[in-house]
Structure 1
Amino acid sequence: MQSRRKLRFRLILSFALFGFGLSALFAVASLYVRAKVEDQLVNTSMQNDVDQAVDNAIYHPDQEFHSELIEGWVKSDRTLYKMPLAWQSLGSGVHDIYETDAKGRERHYKLAVRRKDGIIGFTRYDISREDLGKRQLITALIAVVVLFSLLSLAIGLWLSRKVLKPVTQLAQRIRDFRKAGKAEPLAQHFADDEVGELARALDDYSSRLTAMVERDREFNSDVSHELRTPLAVISSTTELLQGSPDLTPKLAERLKRIERASRQATELIEALLLLSRAERRGPTRGETTEVAKVAADVIESQRPQLRGKPIEIELTARESLSVNAPASVLSVALTNLIGNAIKYTLEGTVRVEVGAGRIEVIDTGPGIKPEDAEKLFQRGVRGEGAGGSGAGLGLAIVRRLCELYGWQVSMRPRTDGNGAIASIVFG
């Protein structure tokens, strides 16, 4: 994942790095120019000085050696032995000599040598002071770099606080909207600049979003009212018909199917409305929902789907398990899982096991590929062999309901034979 640093931090860091880089560049350039100019001036001066001394010794041998700049010596091949041993083999040019004086101090000299017609001239220039000056210059430049870097950091802090203050205020106002539960116009509180333009864009987005949420809320209310009313009529009429004394067994079975379908539709509407509002609700009057009881009701409602298939449906409750959720939510989830197991199983068994904080639906169908298990919970994705039935929304609804209540739903292939295992782990 890409690093997400705050804008203020990036602004401060940019100023600090800019100040440090500019100061360091200035320091390096200053050292380079100083060294270049100094070396060129010293070498030229010393060479000119030794040249004039040698020429003077050749053309005026009766005159003593004298240096116009520094101390020097002129020797012949016969008297060269009087000079320090390290100097005697040096060729013409300027050399760096490091020596220790009588007091034990390290000295740095520039030694210019000139050999011509058997005459050897030496001029020596002590540059120890220049070395000291260079060290002092380096120290001063380091101090300047540190000072400029701190100054850049201070400017960055000040500018970041000043520049980002409107952005911070905008973020704070948006956070206040969340606390207040309603949005108010933002643009009127900001200047006509980039932040003001962002505030106007947020106002426009907030208006469109509020209108969309309001339409969604009205639609949910309309759906809840318009669908619940006919379903309640169907349920009450079915109940009255079931109490008729001249009801035949075949008609009574059909009325039970109508009653189950009506109840499932009511539960599905309630679950979908919860999802649309992202609202988690517990059972009424603080009661808990028995998982095994809901599973048994779902199994009975799904038996008509067998359609003569050689399938047995078994329910095993190893221990009592209750969840803090409406029975309608759990019923919708189990209806999809058990219904899918019956749909894909051509023969064999569909076993529902309750216990250990979970419920599992185990079938003997064609099974699933491990890499396809997670994809089945995506909208519009259907398992192999689904044919033209279904829109691939059932498991997606189950996943959303489980996420709303903190449950974990999963699918995996069986390891002991053909088939798949769908499970819900109640958190």
Structure 2
Amino acid sequence: MPYGLPHKIRVAFIVQALLASLGVLLGGYLVALLIEYGLVKVVLGDEARHYWSLHAQSSEAPLPNTRYIRGYLLADGWPGESVPADLRPLLPGFHALEASDQLVLVDQKPEGRLYLVFPQSQARRAVFWLGVLPVTLVLLAIYALSWLTYRASWRAVSPVNWLARRVARWDPRYPDASELAPEQLPTEVKGEARQLALALHGMAGRVSEHVARERNFTRDASHELRTPLTVIRMASDMALADSGLTPRLQRGLQRIQRSGRDMEAIVDAFLLLARETDVEPLSEPFDVGDVVRQEVEAIAELLVGKPVELRVLIDGPQPMVAPPRVMHVVVGNLLRNACQYTDVGEIEVRVAEGRVVVRDTGIGMSSEALSRVFEPFFRAEEGRPQGAGLGLVIVRRLCDRCGWRITLESAEGKGTTATLHYR
């Protein structure tokens, strides 16, 4: 994990040290300027005022002549040759003469012009001891403190980083938490990190048990649920083969056959939802129009006694390769919803390129109900006895699983249009 917590802490400390260094260097530079020019200028100015006060008392007052300050006077009664040639052209003010390594203050009074000279090398020496050296020591202290703080922080987060690396290697389907067992944890994993590791170890164990139960259910349910349905279908086929059946009994057996096929399709759909998402569903070629015709025939009895016209429009063959029973479940749910909520008018089913459209003139839905139609157990009209409010939820999950898309348009009192986009 190149951009994990230790990396972020390291970057934060580096940025902090750089910003602190920049601030200290800037402060040191300003101190150096202040010492080299400001402080020397102030000292020379004080020395000039002191000399002029002495000069006012006695014109014979000696010029400043110390270890670091040298004075020259250009005035009547003073030999002008005593002023160095490189100083004579200078105007009143403060000057830095790099060539001669001098800082010069020229002070003009009615009594004459005073030149005070300070060695620039001495000013730079003061800058080193009062500016550069303290700045260097402060920078070293900052770097040492940053390094010690970083090491302490790294030791504090290293257990969490170790834990994150182990968890990142887990397979979400089969999390192996053996490294997080209490006896396998490194000694440095303590406190909250150890509690977190033990919690993840327990959670991974429960996830593994859940995945195993789901896998066993998928395997066993495929056999246990299909077996009685196969018996029902075979028994109904044999019963229908009897030529002496009354029309009423024959219709009842046909309903049993259709319900058996519907139940097999629902079982397949639930097993598809129970399988892992990376397991491709079992697909085979079929024609969408054939599925629609079969489902329309199956739900026709729901409209008995209702003044509702059911129309089927199929724009030619619509072959596709997909789980056919899933298509049966999706189309059957859409048709049953249309029949359930349409008491008068018409239901139109159109099969076109890449889509199946079911349009009805039923009670429709408000915009609020339409926004909640895919919520579990939600029904647009609670007074109707059919259904538990799970049909469209299952339909949407099946569509998501197969890469299809379903959309709904509805207006209250005018009907609903459901469109299945399967390509």
TM-score (norm 1): 0.74
Deviates more, 1:214-223 or 1:321-330: 214-223
**Cα offset, 1:182, TM superposition:** 6.5
Partner of 1:70: 70
Distance 1:190 1:281 in 2: 41
Contact in 2 for aligned 1:291/1:322 (Cα 8 Å): yes
Query: Is 1:300 aligned with 2:297?
Result: yes
| Partner amino acid, structure 1, of 2:290 | K
Query: Is 1:256 aligned with 2:254?
Result: yes
Distance 1:340 1:84 in 2: 106
* Offset from partner CA, 1:117-159 (integer Å, 9 cap, x none): x657644446876689989x89xx89x98xx99xx89x989x9
* Offset from partner CA, 1:86-110 (integer Å, 9 cap, x none): 64xxxxxxx5x468x8x9x899966
SS in 1 for 2:322: coil
Partner of 2:81: none
| Partner amino acid, structure 1, of 2:397 | R
Pairwise CA RMSD of aligned residues?
Answer: 4.4
Change (3 A) 1:85 1:36: closer
SS in 2 for 1:186: helix
Distance 2:119 2:258 in 1: 106
Contact in 1 for aligned 2:359/2:418 (Cα 8 Å): yes
Aligned match for 2:176, one of 168, 180, 183: 183
How many residues align structurally?
A: 393
Contact in 2 for aligned 1:373/1:410 (Cα 8 Å): no
**Cα offset, 1:378, TM superposition:** 2.9
Distance 1:37 1:74 in 2: 28
Alignment of 1:358-377 (within 5 A): 358-369=355-366, 373=370, 375-377=372-374
SS in 1 for 2:346: strand
Distance 2:102 2:159 in 1: 58
Query: Is 1:111 aligned with 2:109?
Result: no
Q: Which runs of 5+ in 1 are unaligned?
A: 77-82, 88-94
Partner of 1:424: 420
| Partner amino acid, structure 2, of 1:175 | R
Contact in 2 for aligned 1:323/1:426 (Cα 8 Å): no
Alignment of 1:118-137 (within 5 A): 119=111, 122-125=114-117
| Partner amino acid, structure 2, of 1:300 | E
Query: Is 1:312 aligned with 2:318?
Result: no
| Partner amino acid, structure 1, of 2:418 | A
Alignment of 1:10-49 (within 5 A): 10-37=8-35, 41-49=39-47
| Partner amino acid, structure 2, of 1:111 | L
Change (3 A) 1:423 1:292: same
Distance 2:61 2:238 in 1: 145
Distance 2:102 2:362 in 1: 94
Partner of 2:82: none
SS in 2 for 1:340: helix
Same amino acid, percent of matched pairs: 25
Distance 1:126 1:32 in 2: 20
Distance 1:368 1:128 in 2: 92
| Partner amino acid, structure 2, of 1:15 | F
Change (3 A) 1:367 1:298: same
Query: Is 1:207 aligned with 2:180?
Result: no
Distance 1:58 1:22 in 2: 52
Distance 2:155 2:319 in 1: 55
SS in 2 for 1:289: strand
Change (3 A) 1:134 1:40: closer
**Cα offset, 1:212, TM superposition:** 1.9
Change (3 A) 1:232 1:174: same
Partner of 2:226: 228
SS in 2 for 1:377: coil
Alignment of 1:236-247 (within 5 A): 236-247=234-245
SS in 2 for 1:376: coil
Change (3 A) 1:126 1:310: farther
**Cα offset, 1:327, TM superposition:** 1.9
Change (3 A) 1:134 1:405: farther
SS in 1 for 2:351: strand
Distance 1:127 1:401 in 2: 91
Change (3 A) 1:319 1:11: farther
* Offset from partner CA, 1:171-209 (integer Å, 9 cap, x none): 367536579x67350125541315665443332111111
Contact in 1 for aligned 2:106/2:114 (Cα 8 Å): yes
Contact in 2 for aligned 1:113/1:121 (Cα 8 Å): yes
Aligned match for 2:388, one of 388, 391, 401: 391
Contact in 1 for aligned 2:308/2:346 (Cα 8 Å): yes
Change (3 A) 1:110 1:291: farther
Change (3 A) 1:245 1:186: same
Query: Is 1:339 aligned with 2:330?
Result: no
